[in-house]
Amino acid sequence: MSKTEEWLHTPHDPRDPNPWLALYLDASGPLADEVKRAWLSDAASRSRQFVLPVVRPLARLSIVLIQLLKILVPNDLTSSRILHRTIVWGMKTFVRPEANWLILRHFHLGSQVLGFIGSNALPGQTLPSHPLKPADINALRDDVFLQHDLNLFNFVINLNRALGGKPIEPPALPDFSMIEQPPLRLQDMPDRWTNFIDLQTAIEVYTPVYQLFLTDNDFWRATNSLQLDEVIGIYAATLLKKPEYLVFLNNKHPLVPLTTLRAGFRLVLHGLSTEMLHALLSRAKAEQQTPS
């Protein structure tokens, strides 16, 4: 039994119920078992319980200080190469296996979701794209984090230009050919004694690092990309004629962008929303393939 999953095997005590077990057994969400176990094991870690409360206020203070610095030297300290190499080193050295696995999955899932919307909203047309499918942590060195943000904005712009102001029309038979589980294995993630930092803490730490090594414009665009969760969700829900899917979105509202201070927390919500939407698309694909 993995130490990270002790909560899953602890006997239930009605006088002291385990909150992680309750969330795991709750079936109201669509997450696959493997994903839910990884997410909750990471959330139940001692790092999230004891390190995150210390790191979060320091990280937010760093964001304020770096913002002041960027007013004086907006572009002098930028280097996407250093940024991505620093993140990769940190992930391989300090971040928990579950968190690394979820981060790598995110790029695959995001590319698949955009592929689904583009293919079904514009049948017969091909939008310019830059799908991201990193095979391992080292592959993230190739500006993957920055490209992920660019992909979201470029997709929304290219899609709506191609639509020419017309609304998205649901297809008679949606194409789910691009929706699949990424070929990533949790057991392949680094798992040394130093790999103890949970997902939320890692993201809080990396947010000011991201801000430091990007231009002020790039960082603001990156944080504003989180507002597109609602937009992408609406596109997918419209194509599937399932407005109830929007219940699983969290970064609302797209026309009211928030400040950068809570970008780390919102980025975690963005990751969960992507997992939820991909799980719903996977469920719809399975239903389509099941004979009636």
Q: Collapse the DSSP code of 95 into the 3-class scheme (helix H, G, I; strand E, B; otherwise coil) and give the result.
A: strand
The C-alpha atoms of residue 1 and residue 260 are separated, in whole angstroms, by 40
- DSSP assignment, residue 122? S
Q: How far apart are CA 58 and CA 252, in angstroms?
A: 25
Model pTM? Answer: 0.94
**Residue-by-residue pLDDT tens, the chain, 292 positions:** 455 677 788 888 899 999 999 999 998 889 999 999 999 999 999 999 999 999 999 999 999 999 999 888 877 788 999 999 999 999 999 999 999 999 999 999 999 999 999 999 999 898 999 999 999 999 999 999 999 999 999 999 999 999 999 999 999 999 999 999 999 999 999 999 999 999 999 999 999 999 999 988 889 888 888 888 989 999 999 999 988 888 777 777 788 888 888 899 999 999 999 999 999 999 999 999 887 6
Q: Report how far apart the first and last C-alpha atoms of the chain are (Å, whole number).
A: 40
In terms of Cα–Cα distance, which of 150, 98, 108 is closest to 275?
Answer: 108
